[in-house]
Structures are given as structure tokens and as C-alpha cells.
Amino acid sequence: MKLKKAVITAAAPSQRLLPLQRLVDRDGVEKTALRIVIEEVTSAGIDEIAIVVCPGDGEAYREAAGELSAHLVFIEQHQPRGYGDALHRAAEFINQESFIHLVGDHLYVSGVAKRCAQQLVEVAEAHNCAVSAVQATRENMLPYYGVIGGRRVQGQKNVYEIERVVEKPTPTEAEQTLIVPGLRAGHYLCLFGMHVLTPALMDILGQQIAAAPKGNIQLSPALAALASREQHLALEVTGKRYNIGVKYGILTAQLALALAGNDRPDVLANLVELLAG
């Protein structure tokens, strides 16, 4: 497997403006959230990028990407039929190749020199299979994420064999079916908003769309089907994801970026002053 393409989804009507928000990145430069996500992709050596958008949003996104827009192809999702349908809009662009997928309303902060996308791509290429990034997440955050169940791959600290995927499970459901040995009590492996996926995933989505031509198509059931069909691993990346679509999400992401960057001492000083006031 050698990855050359990426798909970023940004077509949810309630979230279409989030990638256009401006933040200060770790390098101290003001950028749109979209540009930060695109740079995450290109850091992994991938420069063919499709962005799935609402009709008419392409020009605003092109402007938000700046000079990186040369890498972009825009694909419209004409009806809001769910996350899975949005991703499947890019099937022709993917053209039966494996690809990396990111969501447009998450920002990622790596805890090591390699960015999160680069970590994921390297594991996927080494194992030659689909790999979903995950993060150990507190039980109270389950309503926001898909969650995986599975077991750790022998001899590998942070790689797991996926056995099931459930979208936004209840705490009871998670406790019964999604506990992964070795995690802290009350924590589950929640999806990170970043996946390396094989062409089989697009085939599965196409089948689900054909079976429910007017239905709302989600990604988690397709991921579960993929795991039952072929090897599908999960990587607990060294880093954090920040959902800018939740309450205080943009604020939290901005603080995380600032504290991971060159301006950390100044930011900490300002925070101490703010808390003291």
C-alpha cells in the first residue's frame, strides 16, 4: 500500500462554517482550520486531496486554503444524507485506491515530532490494511464519537485488531461490548476522525446507499462491515484530537495549539494572569 490521495469531509450543514474559522497554529501563524487540516495531510506526503462540501461552498473553501488550494478538488454533497454518503461522493476521485480520510471539524495536535496523519499512514503502509486512528476517551464523551471494540495486537503497544464499531453507544452498551483490556477504567477507544481506508470501504458504502436510497448513511456501520470483511486495525496515535464543533471546541483547540507551540511561555503567563484576575 502506498497512499497518494486524501478525502476531507466538510458537508454537514451544521458544521460547514467550522473549517473556515481562523486560529493561530503552533508556529504562531494565523490560519483557517481548513488549512491546518490540509497541512496535516500534506505532512504525510499526500498532495491529492478531495474536499466534500455543501453546494456552493467550494469558492469559500478554496480561499480559506490559500496557496494550498492547488492540491484540492471539490466535490458537492447535494443532499444531507449523512457522513457515509458524504464520503462516498468521493468514490470516483479515489478510483479504487486506498486513501486517508479526515473530518473537517477536528484539529490534531501530535505529542511527538511526527504529526498524527504521518503516524497513521506509516502504520497502514507497514501492515498493508485499513487503520483507524483512535484515542482513549472518557465515558462522558461517548455521545460525540464512534467507539471501537477489539484486542491489542500481540507485541505492539498501541495497535489493536478491530472487532466491532458502534456509533455513539450508551455507557451501558459500551461497558458490555466495547471494553478493551489494558485501558483505564471508564475509558474507551473512540474514533479520532482520521482513517486510512481501502477501496472495500467505498464498495460497502455504495451497497448501503443502494439498499436505502433515501436513508441517512453513517460511516460507523460501514467500518464495522469492513472489519468483518478484511483486516482493519486501530492505532492509538501519540497526540490528541479536538472537535471544534462542540461547545468551547474552538477555544479548547486554540489553547491546545498554543500550548504545543513556540509561544507556550507567553500563553501560560496570560492564562495565569487571567485565572488570577
- The string of DSSP codes covering 30-51 is EEEHHHHHHHHHHTTT--EEEE
Region 161-174: what's the mean pLDDT?
A: 94
Which residues partner with 149 through β-bridges?
Answer: 164
Q: What is the CA radius of gyration of the chain?
A: 18
Which residues partner with 190 through β-bridges?
Answer: 135, 147
Query: 505492539: which residue's cell?
Result: 156
The hierarchical CATH code for the domain 5-276 is 3.90.550.10
Condensed to tens digits (0 to 9), the pLDDT of residues 171-206 reads 999 999 999 988 888 999 999 999 999 999 999 999
Helices (H) and strands (E) in the chain, counts: 10, 13
Looking at residue 157, its pLDDT comes to 83
Q: Is the pLDDT of residue 74 over 80?
A: yes
**pLDDT classification of 277: cutoffs 50, 70, 90:** confident
The structural domains of the chain, with segments of one domain joined by +, span 5-276
Pairing of strands 239-243, 72-76: unpaired
Cell numbers for 36: 491546518
Question: In the chain, what percentage of residues exceed pLDDT 70?
Answer: 100
